[in-house]
Structure 1
């Protein structure tokens, strides 16, 4: 009821203002010049896009003092970010579905991850130093972006060239981790540098480097040198150090453009075992050592892109990318008294090498009202998992290495038809030739209509698919206490999404500007892959199968107001999720009723020109979420229990001041002002859920490390 009132008031308020003020046909000047590329035939204004594209600007990123993607997406309305204290990773979920359904790209190239291309990406591993803007499209994008683009796509557009002959910048950022800080042993310490040079009007080069050292979140732990066996050694969230290097070389002349981009990412994550081992040191006191680990990631990204005209009319855009990610595990023993490591042993336990290429041809007709695009996508993944890590065993319980190649060769076509100056239609179809599964297809239909008085209406229908990942296909971990099995016979999930959106913007004689974006989305996922119970006696046996269903609908509104030096955004959404579970072994099916959750977000900024100062506050609220989970009742029989994830609020704030004609910037602020650390999960009933927790009890899921404060210093030097 609350959200209905919010939406009603917002729409009536906007309508009333339109009636009281002089309406102008054009939207805000900055929106007119805002150009988007994701899902388009060619770069074009956001108003002309058939898709409802959301944009996170470089200014938004600067206000948040964001260093990685997790810092930004914590404030996005329909996205949730969760952290894992065991490996230090942050993952994204949209519309209640995890990161396997949401695709992350850099300049239209999906980013390699442990289990996929563009999916399951660790948000803390995506650096934002060279980012120009971020474009997000919610809903199925299977036609233009292939497998796993089910709930949406996020495309990071990097900076290419600049307006000066030389552009040099350097940044130092110091940040607390909760209330913990010291210049070397505690907190978060970031340094970065960038150099851009335009050789002439055609050639440019950009080079950058970044170091991000997070010393871990102690919380109630005592760090790596704690010398007691009281389970307090180590960290609640693991220490990590990240090194990033990137370079781009580009050339452009007339309609021809080509660039080569290289990225390197390196990460060390340190795990310190809470269990200490006694070492005899007779006749002196006993000494202690621990068996610790170090997770090491190296990722190399190459991207060559060329675009231009063929035969003076046809437009082409072709990208070729090669990416390689290797993850090593270094086991070592750490001597508490001497702080020395010994018996170090390092092995590669996971690697993935991918060749990827995508390209399009468009502008087949010499007609401004009709355009047609042909495209292709080639993905060749070579994956390796070492037998020493992970749940991969053969029928004789022996650990086995997994080496698999997954390939797909896709072709797709999209047409854009301007029926009139106001009405556009955009049908699309993709066919995917799969090496490991049955061939798949995706289809879409987009509509856009421009009404009078600045009202824009859009509608889209999309059919997409998600392919199973390595764990779902090849897991085999069976012993006296466990029975978890993958399933090489899995088939891809199929989904259908619908979205209708309305956008309206106007400018008043007073100079005030207001815009509203109202969207309604429905998503239906069939053949959903889940780990289900196949037997309950003598032990619970689990296997991945295509058995469950998932339905979601979402209604959201975003209001944007600007007046003089004020900029205000308010967003609200209601998400309803229906998740049907099936216990095949007991012939039990859960209730498929919808559970509803309220989401809110807002931001407010005020610019003080006299002081060259900008004040900004960001707020987000995630309401209570509910879902059914499988478990055992008090009588030992299989049953379903209702799990509740409690609500929480997240607030960030910053003050940014410029000095010396904007050459020097100082940003101070705070993240997570409400000091959120964990999200409480409560299971109703008196049994034991399949994950092992007792019904009627609560567990915690890590969201962050509490309230933190930061200071960021940036020096910019631009000259010709």
Structure 2
């Protein structure tokens, strides 16, 4: 009996000793770190077991003796501690002073580190979006070198350039699938119609990517990678963003109001799903207008996203959908000159809707991999003019001729197989073979002769030859069949050479071919304020692009990059505005157009401080140099500085984001007082942009951000370009750039089960 009592007592005593230990791992901002490896070693028995922290940075375990904890993570310094009693422990990790091996997918056969990729890929992650408290993609990309944005005052659309070329030469992708819904006379995508809260990162590739992504990828590719479904049982995210527009702000009307909600989680062992919705409300800005007839029009957006993923050992398949609804209102001044009728106003609205469906699948075939990307996009835009009774607020259409519509329906399928071809010694050869088909249908009142359609079928192949650890060579070719035009093959050759462990050289050449788009061929927009016609006699463009890039890394703390590019386009399709006011504005082929430029970037990290500095010099060809004694190229400088600092003790992050955009110059033919044609140098002035932000993370998944945008208080800049665009009229004097200095407050809440 005594032996039994002693045994029971010992068991009970041991059970009591197996008490709970709770460990919380946080970053310098006091935010829990996921997937930290905690090795627990019992001192008495030398037994070791491993634990991973959850989404909140927490592990729970039991110990029966003193233990040694080894806490490690790829991004943070390893921490070792010895504890002898149970309870709650919190450890704050310090970041490593090194550049992480970020993984990129754009243009690669498989996910690969940016350092090893044959193309120079820049990745901008969601951390940067949070640091800038960005409400749209323009806020983020406008801080980058070689990218410039402008605004269409009539429609509120954000137009952009890359490498001195308009957005129609930049392929915009969502998870590798082209985005449909071009707008404006420059035939480009409005990036602000994409929900930035649903983006994991943006990958930028400057230079020709026609072999991989087709004709529109001459200046580069913007690949928007959306957030993926996660493997947690449940994750809930809520964001509230409030921002003034200049000095204007009030709840529910003036200013910017942008709440969002997301739900993400695992449904079963193989199935996970996510859904999100966001409301963006912009109250407009009076500026030089009136209380009702504002210089910046009010805009409202609804942005919805959903994704369903199935993953198994050999394949995974994902269905996703994005729904965008946008309304921009141009409210005219009230007319009360007639005492016999109610006062009224003539108003306009611009409504855009895009519904995009995607199905992507990935199959593991051993040494080979099959990827299939398919999508259907339905985009429409309606512009209407209506009369609003100022007393009753009743609305009525002014005239059927003032109601304009356009729609695009796009079916896209891309299928590729990639993998290893052979390996002999230190030679490794891999390849990719693919086929792509795209069918586009368009119609509406702003296209002549009813609906139109266009299809392209492309076959492409490339191979990557890797010689040891130093050299990669990737030749490739693409051939496209177009339903309207004869086409040419588009070859490309890219090379990456590791001069040393810290010095890399990349060079590339690409030939481009671009057939005129439906909009350029058949655009027809004629009313009291517009006279725009397409040109069915346009010819396809051909182009050549050369680029080079040097990258030098020092001890993981500093990175220097120098790159240069040269674009040469024959038969470039451009938007032509005649000198005669009564003549139609149209599209035409230029004989030749060129851009070139050089960039230098320096990234530096020390302790809790990070800086990204850069300068650029971009030149654009002046076609009048063929006829007059003027410079063949005119250049414009750029500079940027993105600085962040982590103040550890209070856990506050500071961010400073600066961009200098140099003057944009061009020669134009004008008529002088003697009715003679002369050449003048015209200019849009330079400007400086500066944002300041600070943020702090709290326990329980709460983060608060605040700051000032547009500290330099820019509203407009001097611009003496004549005939700057279809909606700009004469466009002399001032060009609207922003709505002045503004202030914001953002609250994020993240719950993970």
Fold match by TM threshold 0.5: yes
8 Å CA contact 2:182–2:190 kept in 1: the answer is no
1:74 matched to 2:112? The reply is no
Measure the CA separation in 1 of the matches of 2:418 and 2:284. Answer: 50
* Superposed displacement of residue 185, structure 1: 2.3
Change (3 A) 1:451 1:701: same
> Which of 251, 256, 261 pairs up with 1:183?
251
8 Å CA contact 1:112–1:118 kept in 2: the answer is no
Cα deviations by residue, 1:519-551 (Å, 9 ceiling, x for unpaired) = 1111111111234578x7896565532224221
* Superposed displacement of residue 642, structure 1: 1.6
What residue number does 1:424 align with?
A: 472
Cα deviations by residue, 1:42-62 (Å, 9 ceiling, x for unpaired) = 111111100010111111111
Cα deviations by residue, 1:350-407 (Å, 9 ceiling, x for unpaired) = 1110001112111152437100110122110000121xxx4x6xxxxxxx55311011
Measure the CA separation in 2 of the matches of 1:560 and 1:202. Answer: 40
Change (3 A) 1:548 1:675: farther
What residue number does 1:25 align with?
A: none
* Superposed displacement of residue 174, structure 1: 0.4
What residue number does 2:736 align with?
A: 702
8 Å CA contact 1:553–1:575 kept in 2: the answer is yes
* Superposed displacement of residue 448, structure 1: 0.5
SS in 2 for 1:62: helix
What residue number does 2:302 align with?
A: 243
What residue number does 1:365 align with?
A: 421
Matching of residues 117-516 of structure 1 within 5 Å: 120-162=188-230, 164-224=232-292, 234-274=293-333, 276=335, 278=337, 280-281=339-340, 287-310=342-365, 312-342=366-396, 349-367=405-423, 369-386=428-445, 390=446, 401-475=449-523, 485-507=533-555, 513-516=557-560
Measure the CA separation in 2 of the matches of 1:247 and 1:196. Answer: 10
Change (3 A) 1:56 1:680: same
Matching of residues 40-55 of structure 1 within 5 Å: 40-55=108-123
Change (3 A) 1:691 1:697: closer
8 Å CA contact 2:462–2:476 kept in 1: the answer is yes
Change (3 A) 1:590 1:353: farther
Change (3 A) 1:195 1:527: same
Measure the CA separation in 1 of the matches of 2:711 and 2:145. Answer: 18
* Superposed displacement of residue 471, structure 1: 4.0
What residue number does 1:11 align with?
A: none
Measure the CA separation in 2 of the matches of 1:567 and 1:235. Answer: 40
* Superposed displacement of residue 555, structure 1: 1.0
Listed as ranges, the gaps of 5+ residues in structure 1 are 1-27, 225-233, 393-399
Question: Which segment is superposed worse, 205-214 or 641-650?
Answer: 641-650
TM-score (norm 1): 0.85
What residue number does 1:623 align with?
A: 662
What residue number does 1:609 align with?
A: 648
What residue number does 1:633 align with?
A: 672
> Which of 646, 650, 675 pairs up with 2:685?
646
What residue number does 1:15 align with?
A: none
8 Å CA contact 1:165–1:199 kept in 2: the answer is yes
Matching of residues 521-532 of structure 1 within 5 Å: 521-532=565-576
TM-score (norm 2): 0.81
8 Å CA contact 1:641–1:689 kept in 2: the answer is no
- The count of aligned residue pairs is 653
What residue number does 2:609 align with?
A: 566
8 Å CA contact 1:104–1:153 kept in 2: the answer is yes
What residue number does 1:715 align with?
A: 749
* Superposed displacement of residue 66, structure 1: 1.0
Greater gyration radius: 2
Measure the CA separation in 2 of the matches of 1:406 and 1:352. Answer: 11
8 Å CA contact 1:115–1:469 kept in 2: the answer is no
* Superposed displacement of residue 104, structure 1: 1.1
* Superposed displacement of residue 646, structure 1: 0.7
* Superposed displacement of residue 215, structure 1: 0.7
SS in 1 for 2:229: coil
Measure the CA separation in 2 of the matches of 1:349 and 1:437. Answer: 27
Change (3 A) 1:55 1:649: same
Listed as ranges, the gaps of 5+ residues in structure 2 are 1-95
Cα deviations by residue, 1:565-612 (Å, 9 ceiling, x for unpaired) = 1111111111122231499xxxx5684611121110011111122222
Change (3 A) 1:118 1:633: closer
SS in 2 for 1:48: coil
Change (3 A) 1:365 1:72: same
Cα deviations by residue, 1:324-351 (Å, 9 ceiling, x for unpaired) = 0112234432122344434599967111
Change (3 A) 1:62 1:542: closer
Question: Which segment is superposed worse, 338-347 or 85-94?
Answer: 338-347
Measure the CA separation in 2 of the matches of 1:129 and 1:76. Answer: 19
What residue number does 2:590 align with?
A: 547
* Superposed displacement of residue 117, structure 1: 14
CA RMSD of aligned residues (A): 2.9
8 Å CA contact 1:103–1:110 kept in 2: the answer is yes
